[in-house]
Amino acid sequence: MKEIASPGRTKMLLEKYGFSFKKSLGQNFLIDTNVLRTAVKAAEVDETTGVIEVGPGIGALTEQLAKQAGRIVAFEIDQRLLPILQESLQPYDNVRIIHQDVLKVNLKEVVETYFEGMGKIKVVANLPYYVTTPILFHFIESGLRFEHMVLMVQREVADRLTAKAGSKDYGSLTVCVQYYAEPQLIKVVPKTVFVPKPKVDSALVKLTLRTEPPVQVADETLFFKTVRACFHQRRKTLLNNLLHQLIDKKRKTELLKVLDELGIAPTRRGETLTIDEFARLANRLQTLVD
């Protein structure tokens, strides 16, 4: 039988079950097995690996994972896809489909329940574009040691995740993700290999979770608040953004003194600061934040 991701098998399954795509769920199914195999290879899965997948759709990526991984748990929010998945993945006894919103899932419980005996846990998913960032942070802030995350995301998001300081794509998402992980662009994926065809291209990115952050911060909450404040309005200077978002305007003189001591010009913009500069700035702002 042809693989699930082949155009013919995909069409057959969708027609058999009378499935119609819901735009509100960001449903775009891959019909290119080479792209899927690239994702599985990048994730470095084997029989000792447990994999969490989000939004399996009709099981195209799940099938490729099932051939390599020890165990797969896939979360599908759309109940209409469950009978299709039951048929398409019937040959694979190492797959568990759970009908639940992954954002409402206790990931630690999932790992304890389904991945006992697995040496490594990884996340491999074609993420729904409308909830990419919430799902991404749901995983990286879970406290679990996912060795890798290989994700299909919008090309624009991939550019932001992998951006360098000073570039147009560099922003708060870049800094916050790179605090937790080392991102790598694996492959740009054209919109033509999806059904229905989305309006933009996608990309495979690999996030290797860090064992410890690349910088030392005294207060992580304040660090992330500082980063977001500095990018609040990209065209505004560092000084203006901080005074409007984080620091009382009455303490402008004190803020200028801190910036001067750090060697950070108040006229700079957020996208020019490295993650190290953000960390040093946040550490010094502790005395200025009420």
Spatial distance between the Cα atoms of 280 and 266, rounded to a whole number of angstroms:
15
**Per the annotation, does 15 bind a ligand?**
no
- Structure token pair of residue 60: 């195209």
Q: At what angle do helices 238-245 and 252-262 cross, to 10 degrees?
A: 140
Asked whether 195 and 29 are in contact (CB, 8 A), the reply is: yes
Residue 53, beta-bridge partner list:
74
**Per the annotation, does 94 bind a ligand?**
no
**Per the annotation, does 8 bind a ligand?**
no
SS3 209: strand
Asked whether 43 and 150 are in contact (CB, 8 A), the reply is: yes
Specify the DSSP element, H or E, that contains 239: helix 238-245
**Per the annotation, does 55 bind a ligand?**
yes
> How would you classify the pairing of strands 29-30 and 194-195?
antiparallel
**Per the annotation, does 283 bind a ligand?**
no
> How would you classify the pairing of strands 95-98 and 120-126?
unpaired
Asked whether 147 and 75 are in contact (CB, 8 A), the reply is: no
**Per the annotation, does 30 bind a ligand?**
yes
Annotated binding-site positions: 28, 30, 55, 76, 101, 126
Annotated binding-site positions for S-adenosyl-L-methionine: 28, 30, 55, 76, 101, 126
